[in-house]
Structure 1
Amino acid sequence: MNKFHGTGVAVVTPFNTDGTVDYEGLKGLINYLIEGKVEYLVSLGTTGEASTLNKDEKKKIWEFTAEINNGRLPLVAGIGGNDTAATVDNIRTFEANGYDAILSASPYYNKPTQEGIYQHYKALAEASALPLFLYNVPGRTASNVSPETTCRLASDFKNIIGTKEASGNFDQFNQIMRDKPADFMLISGDDPVALPMIALGAVGVISVIGNALPRQLSDMIRLCLSGDFNRAAHLHLDLIEFTRMMFAEGNPAGAKAALKHFGICEDYLRLPLVPVSSDLRRSIISETEKIVSKTTLAV
């Protein structure tokens, strides 16, 4: 199986109460995810609160993640931005030791045309020594990478190897699957639709909820990829309410609340993000315990 088939986790960045990076928490989380049998890790995607980290912090987190991972899983670095020249520079100067690919979100706020998006990724692809994943998340960027642009990039640049699609638009997924090169990977960027996207031909998910429940999610994704959708559907439905809670008051606040309950790391975030409310926290803990208990009984 391709090393990017299955469950990738967009790893959260644990913080201490003073706002500094909690490296002990990050170490514990990395080991927890590896023990949870996920297929690969994404370091400093948007779930990792990369927009609130400075350049030195990012460099140290990438290096620390590679050190703790120690070659056990493939690693993907999240490197994006809405300034093409700055993103190109960040990719060119990225110290890639231990990393297998780069994930780069489409430019936010600027609202570029499709030609602008194409030229942005063209510049990134020409600058990158590593394979590149596109990341389309219109709900955050305020612009959509069209299926035509996605497939044009996939056809024109061999080092653009896949896309994390978080548009939620199945018409768009259909067009990508129909028109893409055979080896170009469609990856779900939304946990709730990973199962139907794999049924369509996607190769897995880059997940948020996998931070908290890596075993349960990765088991479900592997069942999907093996074609056992009947068994996968039961696990998928078990996770629906938990998944809703993870995003009810913003990402990654929900995931961090669950991780705190497990004792993996604290739930501190950097402003403007804040922890979940006490009511939601109680609901997350209750749902988490229900899922873990059900998993234990099934073993």
Structure 2
Amino acid sequence: MSDFTSIKKRLRGSIAPIITPFYESGSVDFETLERLIHWHIESGTHGISVTGTTGEPSSLTVEERVQVMEVAMKAVGGRVPFVPGTGSTNHDETIYLTKKAEEMGVDAAMVIVPYYNKPSQHALYKHFKAVADAVSIPIIVYNIPGRTGVNMEPKTLARLHNDCPNIIGVKESNKDFEHVNRVLLECGRDFLLYSGIELLCYPMLAIGGAGYISATANVEPKKVAEVYDAYAAGNHDRALELHYELMPLNDVLFKDTNPAPLKAALGMMGKIKPVLRLPMDLPTEALQQEIREVLQTYVDLPSTSVTSN
């Protein structure tokens, strides 16, 4: 099996986790998805991901998830790496979606720690090994204990990396910064470590991270990408300046469950129809007003932009 050296060099920077846009009817708006992807790449985003947490995968059918991946893959067109989320709480479904991603020719698949089930570390090992063994493409583990109810421990991750050469990295949506340091200690400095916590995007680079998969990139793709570009160029002062400049936006976009504030913001920007599928919904009117007040300090909002609740 390949050591994935080439793709590991490309899988760096800001990999944007794109929202799944819906029409008011609730059906997937594929045309808007394509437009968003083109806008991201034109804005300097280094990679594209869909059907991760920000893409509301648990609100999509399996068939819709495959369609979203196919449309996104075509829109990306090989211009930047494409890393769709293929995990779920169902083992066979995860393997099916990951195989579908491989058939499409994606650069890597991001596989979430199964949510709701709360598996043991041994069960997590068996699950991820079976997924990795079922395909030949690179796998990025997605560890988000706040939404899955279980944490992938660094030693479990290291065991998987050692036994499965195509498990090449992890997205850590983990506020425990000691934990993420130990990931690189256990897995090795060539393991790709991405931040999924907005306030840790810059700090993760400082300890040897490969980049980040930040929901905030949906509304400020250029500045979020510039944090990495500046750091990689050795301009750490500029990267740090951007880190703090983005903090108020990061804060307000997570005052309700992602991607509800994000979709409200994109609706205000005129980028999408601000629609989520139940049981998700838009934030309260009070929070929407707060989002608007913060957002307008970053971008010019069209006067006709509205959201509904």
1:9-50 CA-to-partner distances (Å, cap 9, x unmatched) read 111000011100112221221111111111001111121011
2:69 paired with 1:62: yes
SS in 2 for 1:104: strand
**Structure 2 residue aligned with 1:42:** 49
Which of 207, 216, 219 is 1:212 aligned to? 219
List runs of 5+ in structure 1 lacking aligned partners: 294-299
Structure 2: gaps (5+ residues): 1-7, 301-309
Counterpart position of 1:128: 135
Asked whether 1:87 is paired with 2:94, we answer yes
Secondary structure, in 3 states, of the residue corresponding to 2:103? coil
Secondary structure of the structure 2 residue equivalent to 1:9:
strand
CA distance in 1, matches of 2:113, 2:162: 18
C-alpha spacing 1:205/1:94, structure 2 compared with 1 (3 Å) = closer
Residue aligned with 1:78, SS: coil
Check if 1:144 corresponds to 2:151: yes
Alignment-derived partner of residue 255 in structure 1: 262
Pairing partner for 2:167 from 160, 171, 178: 160
Residue by residue over 1:68-97, the C-alpha shift from the partner in whole angstroms, topping out at 9 and shown as x without a partner, is: 222222111111122223322332344632
Matches within 5 A, 1:166-205: 166-205=173-212
Separation in 1, partners of 2:103, 2:188: 26
After TM superposition, the score normalised by the length of structure 2 is 0.90
Whether the 8 Å CA contact 2:145–2:174 is kept in 1: the answer is yes
1:78 matched residue in structure 2: 85
The equivalent residue for 2:251 is: 244
Show the counterpart of 1:296.
Answer: none
Aligned with 1:280 (options 275, 282, 287):
287
Task: Give the corresponding residue for 1:291.
Answer: 298
Q: Does 1:52 align with 2:59?
A: yes
Q: RMSD over aligned Cα, in angstroms?
A: 1.6
Q: CA shift at 1:279, angstroms?
A: 2.2
Identity %: 35
* TM-score normalised by length of structure 1: 0.93
Given that residues 10 and 43 in structure 1 are in contact (C-alpha distance below 8 angstroms), is that contact kept between their aligned partners in structure 2?
yes
In the other structure, the counterpart of 2:228 is: 221
Paired position in structure 2 for 1:102: 109
The SS at the match of 1:186 is strand
Aligned to 2:4: none
Distance 1:225 1:96 in 2: 33
Show the counterpart of 1:271: 278
CA contact (8 A) 2:143 2:173 kept: yes
